[in-house]
A = this chain, B = another copy of it.
Amino acid sequence: MLVYAILELLQHKPLSGYELKKRFSGSIVFFWHARHSQVYPELKRMEKQGLIAGTRVEQETRPAKRVYAITADGERALKAWLKRPVALQAVKDQMMLKTFAFHLIEPQEAAAQLRHHQRLHQRRLDLYLATRQELEQRCGEIDATGDPIAFWNAVTLGYSIELERSYIAWCNWALERQRRFNARAVEANANGAPAGGPTEGAVG
């Protein structure tokens, strides 16, 4: 997969390993990322396969760098991949893994975790919104410019924003539901009817 992420970035413009690494902390990082210790070996492998071509570039004030450009073969491989249908991706979410077992910790601790997580996603959302503002200022009303690169950039950014909003909304919803749940439990306890214990049937 990293192969295609790199090809996509090089398809716009030739870049060095260091510049690529920085791109993976730029807009593409919203849905794909890689460390430099993964990028450099991958570039070598891709060059051996003929997907990209590197050239040494001397610089005056900075160390020399090796700039990679996509080849005709690389572009073919990229387009072929784009046309292949994607399979449904498995979800891996640490926060959900924790939430699934929140019955093991104190309700207020669970709530604190949810609030903390909400703050983190709020910060990320703010970053995404700022990025969108920037993009719109650079490109004007995207639909009007007719630039397909800016268009699809905006479409993926729209997804990232929606995802963060969903997460924040879910945190709110979970906290609200938890408040109601706890209130009921306290009430039931006061009436001398203890809340139900672990129910095996709930898991599977």
Contact = CB atoms under 8 A, between A and B. Distances in A.
A62 interface: no
A202 B156 CA distance: 13
Contacts of A30: 91, 96
A191 to B, nearest CB: 12
Count of identical protomers in the assembly: 2
A58 to B, nearest CB: 23
Interface residues of A, number: 94
Mostly, the A contact residues are helix
A48 interface: no
Contacts of A181: 143, 146, 148, 151
Interface string A21-41: 001001111111100000000
A103 B148 contact: yes
Interface of A: 1, 4-5, 8-9, 11-13, 23, 26-33, 75, 78-79, 81-83, 85-105, 109, 113, 116-117, 120-121, 124, 135, 138-139, 143-153, 155-156, 158-160, 162-163, 166, 169-170, 173-174, 177-178, 180-181, 184-185, 188, 195-204
24 contacts: A1-B97, A12-B200, A13-B203, A31-B92, A31-B100, A32-B96, A33-B92, A79-B105, A85-B113, A86-B117, A88-B124, A93-B159, A100-B152, A102-B148, A103-B148, A139-B201, A139-B202, A143-B177, A145-B199, A149-B199, A149-B202, A151-B178, A159-B170, A162-B166
